Amino acid sequence: MCGIAGIWNLDKKPVEHSTIGRFTDALKHRGPDGSGFWFDDELGIALGHRRLSILDLSENARQPMQYLDGRYQITFNGEIYNFIELRRELEAKGYVFHTQSDTEIVTAAYHEWGNGMLSRFNGMWAFAIFDTKERSLFLARDRYGIKPFLYKFSDNQFAFASELNAFKKLDGFIAELDSETASVYLHNAMAIEGSQRTMIKGVRRLQGGHCALLKDGNLKISRWWNTLDNLVEVPADFGQQAERFRELFYDSVKLRMRSDVSIGTCLSGGFDSTSIICTMSDIAKNDKNLERMPEDWRQAFVATFPGAMNDESANAKETVDYAGVKGIFFEVTENSAIEDIEQILNDFDDCYPGMPTAAWLIYKELRRSGVFVSLDGHGADELLGMYAQGDFISFYDSPHLLTNWSENKRRINEYNTFLNSLENPQLFKSPAEAIFAYHPDFAFAGKIKNTFLNSGAKLKRKLSGNRFSIFRNNPVLSDDDFSQVGANDELPKEWGFINRLLYKQFHSDVLPTILRNFDRVSMAHGVEVRMPFMDWRLVSYAFSLPDSSKLSMGMTKRIAREAMKNRIPESIRTSRLKVGFNSPLPEWLNGPLKNWVKEIIYSPELQSHDLINIKAFQKFAEIHFRNNNWSWGNSEFAWQIVQFLWFEKQLSRKSI
């Protein structure tokens, strides 16, 4: 896990050492364990690397790494978890290796299989391989875009890096806001990361599941992965489905425990992170066939939020005791709202409706404790359907009210029991409201579904509706500019609403954005995040399951909950609440963030703006500041704008 960079002057002008040095060292937080460079002055190319040592800690594994007597030069960010198995396969073909790293396996695999190697990898990656014989640069990103790859391509230069901030250090390039992308973001914060566009004009994104070849000045980009081409046969019996899910999840966790440094997990107390740490414990206790697993794995890091509605520390304590691991609990207090906020937002490297402080702090704690790898639960919500809350799940697939009243009555009673078990039942709809909103018998339910499913298509035509008259422009978009990965895939006709919705969330909008967020806040401290729920085998299997295996009987993630029966605390396995790992933004806006936010929105240079009606936004914010009534909904809307204004201001300074 590292930071990668490269410059190829297509006019063959040699790359200055200081130029690639500044460009690469802008990523030093991603790779605090060293740096390396490779140059070919004749061709005008240079590769840079900032190293985070995870596999093979020796100098032999430093990058850029050469292979086959220098024919191939690679700069690599990520992990290939099945590198041991691939190494054995390649050794049987006569390949010789000089390190214990996965990087060397990638170059040998490229020589043997070309870009066909990608489908053999189980992992996360973004890399560039220069072939000195063919004078070509091969670029690739993992299936779902877990690891970042950004680039600038002009007539005389191709440059790439792991983060937007690096381009502010690229000689001769002026980092300016892409106002069209910014306008799209302001209307839909999830519409950018799955596309090729970024917030900096001229900087593009190699999308997840894509690769590219640069040769003779021509860049050819192609999509190498499509989940729909990799669906599998699943058992008809639900119990057998759950058993297969458990097998795949177990092996996914096991592969991601391979490391030459300490590993742990970020534990929220929710179902996903609890499943991971309990499975890690099970593997360590009972699996005798382990390779490259460190002794030091028994630590779960828990951020607590005293007095906030999103505090799950009690659940986390239950999990720690159940798994028999050490819990490292630390408080995220009101002081955290302001401390290091400028550094946190700079490290975040982009814009988002949520505040990244809590996540940034937990990975800082991992690094401080000497833990450099964390197995986390990202991807499970989008894969299995946790964003749908109890009111929706209880009624969205109900039978007809007149033909099966008994089943509808059972669901109403079950939903009432659920509401009565909550400390804050007012957060959910009443039974009557939930039935009207989500029951298939009512036309409104169909409208809700259409809104979910068609949001991407509507965005491409025209972003509509100025919320509170704050946004000035409704951009008209072309398909090519903002087409998201998978958004136009032809989904199987037999798929229901849930699979269609989850496919979009997983591949196109929600998950790509979340992956970007957690890459930045973890790598800001040189911590690698691994995601067992995103093993490609598990993903392909999950999208081969029917809707009813994911959301039914009033439960989200039904297949995973069944798979984890008797393997995690029962109270967590059956919980129907979704809290999420977020900074307590409403409490902070009602308190310590107030003055900082006002400094941003009342700064003199922002009193006129091409995209935002600043006066209208000030009025909106003042109402909530005065009434001290920030909620999750309006606070996230406000923060989406505030963080964008901060980001734009930093760009105008032309420096990191």
CA atoms of 47 and 24, how far apart (whole Å): 9
The candidate with the shortest Cα–Cα distance to 208, out of 141, 291, 119, is 141
Q: What's the CATH code of the domain at 536?
A: 3.40.50.620
**35 plus 132 within the same structural domain:** yes
- Do the beta carbons of residue 583 and residue 356 sit within 8 Å? yes
**16 plus 86 within the same structural domain:** yes
Average pLDDT over residues 633-642: 94
Is residue 580 domain-resident? no
Give residue 575's pLDDT. Answer: 86
**103 plus 24 within the same structural domain:** yes
Average pLDDT over residues 290-310: 88
Give residue 444's pLDDT. Answer: 52
Q: pLDDT for 473-496, tens place per residue? A: 766 665 577 899 999 999 999 998
Strand partners, 516: none
**220 plus 233 within the same structural domain:** no
What's the mean pLDDT when you consider all of the chain?
Answer: 91
φ, ψ (nearest 5 deg) of residue 459: -65, -40
Q: How confident is the model at residue 459 (pLDDT cuts 50, 70, 90)?
A: very low
Q: What's the CATH code of the domain at 172?
A: 3.60.20.10
**462 plus 522 within the same structural domain:** no
Q: pLDDT for 149-201, tens place per residue? A: 999 999 899 999 999 999 999 999 999 999 999 999 999 999 999 999 999 99
Give residue 83's pLDDT. Answer: 98
Is residue 456 domain-resident? yes
CA atoms of 656 and 646, how far apart (whole Å): 12
- Do the beta carbons of residue 205 and residue 196 sit within 8 Å? yes
Give residue 414's pLDDT. Answer: 82
Burial of 652 (0-12, 13-18, 19+ CB in 10 A): exposed
Q: pLDDT for 61-82, tens place per residue? A: 999 999 999 999 999 999 999 9
Cβ of 213: how many Cβ atoms within 10 Å? 17
Give residue 217's pLDDT. Answer: 96
Is residue 250 domain-resident? yes
Prediction pTM value: 0.92
**552 plus 463 within the same structural domain:** no
Q: pLDDT for 385-436, tens place per residue? A: 867 677 787 888 888 888 899 989 988 988 888 788 776 676 678 888 888 8
Is residue 237 domain-resident? yes
Last residue of a domain, one of 183, 199, 225: 225
Give residue 476's pLDDT. Answer: 61
Number of domains into which the chain is organized: 4
**403 plus 484 within the same structural domain:** yes
Give the residue carrying structure tokens 């936004």: 617
Q: How far is Cα of residue 42 from the mean position of the Cα atoms in its chain?
A: 39
**159 plus 290 within the same structural domain:** no
Is residue 578 domain-resident? no
Average pLDDT over residues 2-7: 97
Give residue 456's pLDDT. Answer: 44
Is residue 507 domain-resident? no
**568 plus 592 within the same structural domain:** no
Last residue of a domain, one of 501, 523, 546: 501
Helix H or strand E encompassing 279? helix 271-286
**7 plus 37 within the same structural domain:** yes
Q: How confident is the model at residue 460 (pLDDT cuts 50, 70, 90)?
A: very low
Last residue of a domain, one of 448, 470, 501: 501
Give residue 453's pLDDT. Answer: 46
- Do the beta carbons of residue 401 and residue 408 sit within 8 Å? yes
pLDDT beyond 50 at 655: no
Is residue 380 domain-resident? yes
DSSP state of 552: B
**196 plus 74 within the same structural domain:** yes
- Do the beta carbons of residue 341 and residue 354 sit within 8 Å? no
- Do the beta carbons of residue 527 and residue 371 sit within 8 Å? yes
**215 plus 280 within the same structural domain:** no
Which domain range does residue 399 map to? Answer: 390-501
Is residue 506 domain-resident? no
